[in-house]
A and B are shown apart, each in its own frame.
Chain A
């Protein structure tokens, strides 16, 4: 462990000089259950109110390092979507969509639908989760 003390300048550094551990193994899940409802874990800046998902340390709007945990969900609107048949990312097919939440965040989500062909833009969707993954379903 490195010694961390005082201000960050040419002669030494404080905790704010250390890299952000944004690739840490075993980081907590990006969602939680609140009264049985799925909520996503985002961050909100104390100074600017700027929001983001997933959780982060720095405000996307101002660079302020004052992000606080913030939960949102579970009803959203499907802005657009596509069923993926060829992918380097994982087994196909799967359906991805951009989901708009009332708080103002747009989130890329897996869309799980019995019949993906029946999905349409601007339809209502809702967050769901299994033990370790989250997705949206049409409602």
Chain B
């Protein structure tokens, strides 16, 4: 059993890149990740590529562009968790001693759909009934406002924080601050969620280099240990489900804390799946950052920003960066790599030692979400 480390990371600035193919998006991220790790293309022993909408052989279409071949290239679709699932696959291979140096890619190009909500699989009965991702999260938000002593202003504060963090991240798609009034006055998407409470669509790619203990010794570069890597799927029910208690995320987080031997109170940085404002509040509780029922106060008291208990989404999160679904999990890992190696520039969380990343992919009936990945990291 080898320990697992990240030794290099890169991403393209998230934006709309209609003139670029999947390989055009991902190749610069891969080359820069290799460069930051001091690794050449021929040193890579295995590639895992996460994506949701890349089509056949997305990973091969990318890595052949720089001469990587004759090695295993595995393509992983797990909706929003595709990129993080790729990291999970790489983690397991390295832990098992199969490889010393693995390239993990996350990529997606949502501009190919011309805007609007994420296209879901139309075989699904709820999708045929009109389900779209913002509607699912909007119903969570409605229930949250109903059950809790919370207001739409509380929801809006999630966007306000995200955009304040994102303003310091050159890789984010939105780099301007917004206020509560602007968030609430933006056009309605799915009531009560307004436009500025929904992550923007866009295109992006990210890459990280994951290595074994032996691989790390060969490379003299800053490293971050991946202390836990957990992947769960949802459990079906045709009955009642508490929409404020996403079991798939809390189960994944609990398993991750067990694997890593540290807990939510030890975290300095969290990159969580804030596809919509309500998601962040619900996930504070699911990840154990605060007690159940306390998420709105946890946000409002400043515990999740700089100077608080844990900085949640220093990158600006999906609300600022955008959410090219398969890319997001790897982009989160890249952010964590930079944060824990002191390379995050203006958005650096001072003295960050331990971090968590979380992405969960939804969109099928009967499940709270289809897939969820939680990773824990610590300074090596």
Contacts and interface: CB of A to CB of B under 8 A. Distances in A.
Interface stretch (A9-17, A86-94, A128-136): A9-17
Interface stretch (A60-68, A96-104, A106-114, A118-126): A60-68
B338 A10 contact: yes
Interface residues of A, number: 26
B368 to A, nearest CB: 33
Interface in B35-76: 36, 40-41, 64-67
B21 A23 contact: yes
A19 B34 contact: no
B274 interface: no
A11 B40 contact: no
B23 interface: yes
B379 interface: no
Contacts, number: 96
B19 interface: yes
Interface in B6-38: 9-13, 15, 17-21, 23-25, 27-29, 31-32, 34, 36
A18 B205 CA distance: 10
Contact of B205 (A10, A19, A65): A19
Contacts of A60: 64-67
Interface residues of B, number: 42
Contact of B31 (A21, A23, A24, A63): A63
A76 to B, nearest CB: 23
B345 interface: yes
A9 B343 contact: yes
A12 B345 contact: yes
A58 B343 contact: no
B344 interface: yes
Given A13-B13, A16-B28, A17-B32, A63 B67 contact: yes
A8 interface: yes
B20 A17 contact: no
A22 interface: yes
Given A10-B343, A12-B170, A23-B19, 19 more contacts: A2-B13, A3-B170, A9-B338, A9-B343, A11-B170, A11-B346, A12-B345, A16-B28, A17-B12, A18-B13, A19-B203, A20-B23, A21-B24, A23-B24, A62-B40, A62-B41, A63-B31, A63-B40, A65-B31
